[in-house]
Amino acid sequence: MEMAQNIILTIMTAATPLLIAAIGELVVERSGVLNLGVEGMMVIGAVCGFAAAAVTGSPWIGVLAAIVAGALFSLPFGFLTLSLATNQVATGLSLTLLGVGLSGLIGEAFVGSAGLRLQSIAIPGLVDIPLVGRLLFGQDPIFYMSIALTAGVVWFLFRTRAGLTLRAIGDSHGSAHALGISVIKARYLAVMFGGACAGLAGGHLSLVYTPQWVENMTAGRGWIALALVVFASWRPWRVMAGAYLFGAVTIGQLHTQALGFGIPSQLLSSLPYLATVVVLVLISRNRRLTMMNTPASLGRPFVPDR
């Protein structure tokens, strides 16, 4: 029983950065912007969070630094795609390449340094409840942030006027502009929110999941987060379900290696990415469902009339 509980705990920990990054990207894409730079923003958040925690001795300052770094790093993408109307796909890919290279430069001095772990919260009395105590009441603070973030995005998108406005911009930016809505401003805010979430996801990797800095430690999680948004048909609760599914695949391959099955470790390590490809292929077969939920203006540049 304890082994099963430990496995579930590791799955939840592995799923948390995927969930946070995907929720942020969902908001960005709901506004009609496609940002493929999630991987780059995550790795920048990871290195800045680790560096800030190492310098100050406070993992909470590291968390804040990761959020701020992700948000700031999203601004060049916003300026190029929203103010200058450049191609969003090419700009997002460039942002990822820049993030990977810049993070290696920033983190060079911290390779091999001992990290600071953001300690888990143990709620007295509740953490001792059989079966669910440790799972629900003994997690790290960022796990609880991810749940609150998901619920908050659901409320914002479907229960507030601002959320309705954002979805309207994503579906028809021309009509929204004609109604007097500031399309560029709303998209800038959405892009920065997505960057902040990606930075927080990276901070979780370097401060909770593996409290150390290793170059390119995101290992493709940003791309999985992008796939999760499509997998979930742009619905926040489905993003959560998908994140935990992919977290289970990631942890499952690690336990399979530990049990010593005669399967090449390289094949097992590729399972999360193979699962991503399979899921996207299955989703693409139902084009009606995909088109029905896809923001109509996704990836299309907007240039206001002058």
Helix axes 183-204, 38-56, angle to 10 degrees: 60
- Return the pLDDT at 276: 73
Residue where the block lists tokens 């097992």: 268
pTM above 0.85, yes or no: yes
Q: What is the pLDDT of residues 246-296, one digit of tens each?
A: 888 878 776 666 666 666 666 666 777 777 777 777 766 666 666 667 899
Candidates 31, 287, 26, 306; CA nearest to 172 is 31
Q: What is the pLDDT of residues 4-13, one digit of tens each?
A: 777 888 889 9
Q: Which amino acid is at 52?
A: A
| Tens of pLDDT, residues 52-81 | 999 999 999 999 999 999 999 999 999 999
Q: Which amino acid is at 109?
A: A
- Cα distance between residue 170 and residue 164, in whole Å: 10
Quote the mean pLDDT of the chain.
88
How much helix, strand and coil, in percent to the nearest 5, is found in the chain?
75, 0, 25
Q: What is the mean pLDDT of residues 222-241?
A: 91
In contact, 250 and 21? CB cutoff 8 Å: no
Q: Two tokens at 119?
A: 């300690």
Q: Which residue type, as a one-letter code, is found at position 272?
A: P
Q: Is 295 left (phi over 0), alpha (psi -120 to 50) or beta?
A: beta
* CA pair distance 19, 240, nearest whole angstrom: 6
Is residue 220 within 8 A of residue 246, CB to CB? The reply is no
Q: What is the pLDDT of residue 225?
A: 94
**DSSP letter string, 8-21:** HHHHHHHHHHHHHH
| 159: its two tokens | 């229960």
Fold of the domain spanning 2-293: ABC transporter involved in vitamin B12 uptake, BtuC (1.10.3470)
Give the percent of the chain with pLDDT over 70.
89
**Model confidence at 137, in pLDDT bands (50, 70, 90)?**
confident
Confidence tier at 125 by pLDDT (50, 70, 90) = confident
**What value does the mean pLDDT take over residues 84-113?**
93
Q: What are the residue boundaries of the structural domains of the chain, listed by start? A: 2-293
Which of the 8 DSSP states describes residue 284? Answer: H
The phi and psi torsions of 112 (rounded to 5 degrees) equal 85, -5
- Give the position of tokens 């669910």: 132
